[in-house]
Structure 1
């Protein structure tokens, strides 16, 4: 069966030849995801396209609309009475349900790869909840017993030191006892890499060893990190729904104010979605952001802009903190700010009066299983 005339596939798509009837196959998948009770609400479809045969599972439209109107997953935990902070199974449930209602299909070459993807997302959330940085726009450091610095290579892991341990100590002060300074963008890379490495330790130790060897020689960062480790859904032309997030997603909140975006560290904010309507706060992990707080904070950066003694742009965060709190407690002002900020962002380099800080895409980990991994490390 071809896909001509077929509406765009949604939810979870697993490649390979189905071995039984579609409904039975779908129930087998849900059972492995510990979500068999969702079967009455899940539509199962088999088919084939240019790539080959597939099995597709998605939450039926009526249930998706009831649980997350307009693909707004921020209230899903409250709707389903999930306690993802204290109940690990509830976090896994939130991940599975949000994947099943995906407006664009999340594709996997095998069921095992899907299981790893769910666990990586869980790992990322658990790590991001504990990640806290020291905020410095000019200073960077790492735990000296795990990392060394070279101007040409940046920070690399010391020989003999576990990559997992090095990443954990760099990002989690409850483990290291100290706060280390680096950008929120680099911090999200470390959190994602840690989540991937923890899964590789269980299912693909050979690839973990390659990562270990790579990080003792040189780090993979920035654009190269995105290309090697991440998949991306959505685009400027076909944006994801603005409130659709899956726990473990990385996303960017853009500062739409051009003058204040010139201040180092305030171009925008890279965060991980923790589930439960919360986003990581990399400076105060015990105070994660709601969508409203993140938008209101970024909006107020423009009101804290000043030039330092060197003529460089800076943001006075202490000055704007009372303004942020006042706006959050003023319904009319909050509505005004959210109308400006909760729009899709403009392309990079473009600033308009319309505002908008919501990204059109989400980023998440590539496939990692020994037989199907598409995470390919570059030469050292």
Structure 2
């Protein structure tokens, strides 16, 4: 197929998709395209990238997408779960293959992944790459009522939680807390906090490269108090998709933080089982922080969450709990019945119901979360001032 460089005056009117760079390039879209391919080491994709140049209410932009015939062949319906296998990528053994999967998934975006310049795009790809690598190495002890961290770099404050010790490296502290291959110890986490640490590690590693002053501020802040929960989302992450305009159910980019909701009202009352927070690793796999050598497929995650409703019990204190051993046995049993598997997956792979409702909803979220811009001149990551 010949190179496709064209202008589409309807791009802004119909909604931008793929990768959008809001920057002016001397030489226009051709120069922007060459810069994109060079910076991402993706020159061999030249034949299948379509480039649009235009202007909208936010200003000038250049947009990059996969040509429609290539997109249909590699990710029909923007289903990126099979992207790695269709392109025969080895993303675990070859770093460049993981980068390739990330770039292609971004190009397939049904909603634009926007950047103020090429540097931010490159940093975003590197953050996603580092996040996937960290998630693959993370192994934790699942706990909802207790937690601990490496004592040589962490301390617990009653009013705010775990902080790093003065002089400790935030990157080293996060690595030791989540990667037993480094620390030699398994530490207790909830899945929500685990995703925060893994996402923050990927961001901090890129800040060390592109914006050391911001990393220094972040590290100083973490000696006083952590940023967590809703504030973590607001400060560090951007969210794509909405209940009104959901992302395609099978569209994921490696490095996304993803929520699977428990659609069963009763078992969702058990602490830690309101849903499951994971990192998309690429290749159709999602992180399993408790058994890292057994990452979840989408089907496996759906089957596990479905069986929570059948493993609910009250402990001696009258608290709702989930019997994990029973969940595992129930999943193994149902896998022998393809008809029942299909029934459960059809039920669970609906979009989730709105918060506060469980009516007719499945476990699939409508949004994905990923890191904000981080480069020195264009970052929109603003740390709180206490």
- Scaled by the length of structure 2, what TM-score is found? 0.96
Task: Quote the residue 1:282 is aligned against.
Answer: 289
1:328–1:240 Cα change, 3 Å:
same
CA–CA distance in structure 1, aligned partners of residues 309 and 78 of structure 2: 31
CA–CA distance in structure 2, aligned partners of residues 280 and 22 of structure 1: 38
Task: Quote the residue 1:161 is aligned against.
Answer: 168
CA–CA distance in structure 2, aligned partners of residues 280 and 256 of structure 1: 20
**What RMSD, in angstroms, separates the aligned Cα atoms of the two structures?**
1.3
The count of residues paired between Structure 1 and Structure 2 equals 379
Q: Does 1:273 align with 2:309?
A: no
Q: Does 1:334 align with 2:371?
A: no
Query: Once the 2 structures are TM-superposed, how far is the Cα of residue 166 of structure 1 from its aligned partner?
Result: 0.4
Pairwise mapping of residues 41-60 of structure 1 onto structure 2 (< 5 A)?
A: 41-60=48-67
Preserved contact between residue 74 and residue 86 of structure 2 (Cα < 8 Å): yes
Q: Does 1:148 align with 2:155?
A: yes
Given candidates 255, 261, 280, the residue that maps to 2:262 is: 255
CA–CA distance in structure 2, aligned partners of residues 59 and 5 of structure 1: 17
Preserved contact between residue 308 and residue 327 of structure 2 (Cα < 8 Å): yes
Task: Quote the residue 2:4 is aligned against.
Answer: none
1:7–1:121 Cα change, 3 Å:
same
Query: Once the 2 structures are TM-superposed, how far is the Cα of residue 28 of structure 1 from its aligned partner?
Result: 2.4
Q: Secondary structure at the match of 2:278?
A: strand
Q: Which runs of 4+ in 1 moved over 6 A?
A: 1-5
Given candidates 348, 365, 368, the residue that maps to 2:371 is: 365
Give CA deviations for 1:292-322 in whole Å, capped at 9, x if unaligned.
Answer: 0000000000000111111111111112212
CA–CA distance in structure 2, aligned partners of residues 5 and 97 of structure 1: 21
1:155–1:64 Cα change, 3 Å:
same
1:2–1:39 Cα change, 3 Å:
closer
1:229–1:249 Cα change, 3 Å:
same
Task: Quote the residue 2:309 is aligned against.
Answer: 302
CA–CA distance in structure 2, aligned partners of residues 167 and 54 of structure 1: 37
Query: Once the 2 structures are TM-superposed, how far is the Cα of residue 32 of structure 1 from its aligned partner?
Result: 1.4
Given candidates 22, 27, 30, the residue that maps to 1:15 is: 22
CA–CA distance in structure 1, aligned partners of residues 82 and 336 of structure 2: 20
Q: Does 1:175 align with 2:212?
A: no
Pairwise mapping of residues 1-380 of structure 1 onto structure 2 (< 5 A)?
A: 6-352=13-359, 354-380=360-386
Query: Once the 2 structures are TM-superposed, how far is the Cα of residue 4 of structure 1 from its aligned partner?
Result: 8.7
Give CA deviations for 1:11-54 in whole Å, capped at 9, x if unaligned.
Answer: 00001112114234213211211111111111101111112111
CA–CA distance in structure 2, aligned partners of residues 64 and 50 of structure 1: 28
CA–CA distance in structure 2, aligned partners of residues 148 and 134 of structure 1: 19
CA–CA distance in structure 2, aligned partners of residues 325 and 146 of structure 1: 41
Q: Which runs of 5+ in 1 are unaligned?
A: none
- Scaled by the length of structure 1, what TM-score is found? 0.97
